[in-house]
Copies of this chain bind each other. A is one copy, B any other.
Amino acid sequence: MYQVTGKSAEILDLAERHVRTVGYNGFSFRDLASEAGIKSASVHYHFPTKGNLGAAVARRYADRFFEIMGDPLNPKKSPRILTEAFIGAFRGALNEDGRMCLFCILGAEFAALPPEVQHEVRSFFNKSSEWLAQVLGRTATGTAASDAELKARARSIIACLEGAMMVARANDQLSIFDDIVGHLRRAHVVP
């Protein structure tokens, strides 16, 4: 799918790393260029504008995420397993030397983003809560919850995870993330 090769992929990697540490407004084309060993003009060759680049980074990140997550209705994987994988993906992102989830930082900076990047951010939150809602829907706990209710529950979990990443990183303690997830589990919010 997003199997961009060569310099383009390298630039995407660098840009992603920057966004996830210092945010969209915290790096420049020159930063990327010097790290990729080319000139900033060459970065523009691959990605005409910064908004273009930002959207590409977001799209690739989301595509990877959902590829790893797989089918939420896969009968071979229990809701429990899938939810753990979901949480684990967030934890893994934070564990890459204190990098944030891409969409946590983009979400916070939302108003400062070019429209095409904003679109990707919204799209991710929609898709991810949809995905998680489908998983939650499989744990039929007697009451048949509506799609809207399931999606709201999913969003609540996602919000908690995003917030947990942020607080954990600001304090440079991964354990804070784990504590928060623990509370999520103990409150039976999660399968």
Listed in ascending order, the chain A residues whose CB lies under 8 Å from chain B are 21-23, 25-26, 98, 100, 104-105, 107-112, 118, 121-122, 125-126, 152-153, 155-156, 158-164, 166-171, 176, 179-180, 182-184, 187-189
Contact = CB atoms under 8 A, between A and B. Distances in A.
A125 B164 CA distance: 12
B23 A167 contact: no
B25 A152 contact: no
Quick one: which of A105, A118, A155, A163 has the most chain B CB within 10 A?
Answer: A163
B169 A155 contact: no
Contact of A111 (B22, B107, B158): B22
A152 B179 contact: yes
A100 B167 CA distance: 15
A170 B122 contact: yes
Contacts of A182: 152
A166 B22 contact: no
A169 B110 contact: yes
B158 A163 contact: yes
Contacts of A118: 170
Contacts of A21: 111-112
Nearest to A151: B179
B160 A159 contact: yes
Given A156-B164, A160-B164, 19 more contacts: A23-B25, A26-B111, A104-B108, A105-B109, A108-B166, A126-B171, A152-B183, A153-B183, A155-B180, A156-B160, A159-B166, A159-B176, A160-B160, A162-B163, A162-B166, A163-B163, A163-B164, A183-B189, A187-B189
A30 to B, nearest CB: 16
7 contacts: A22-B25, A118-B170, A156-B183, A159-B163, A162-B163, A162-B167, A187-B189
A173 to B, nearest CB: 10
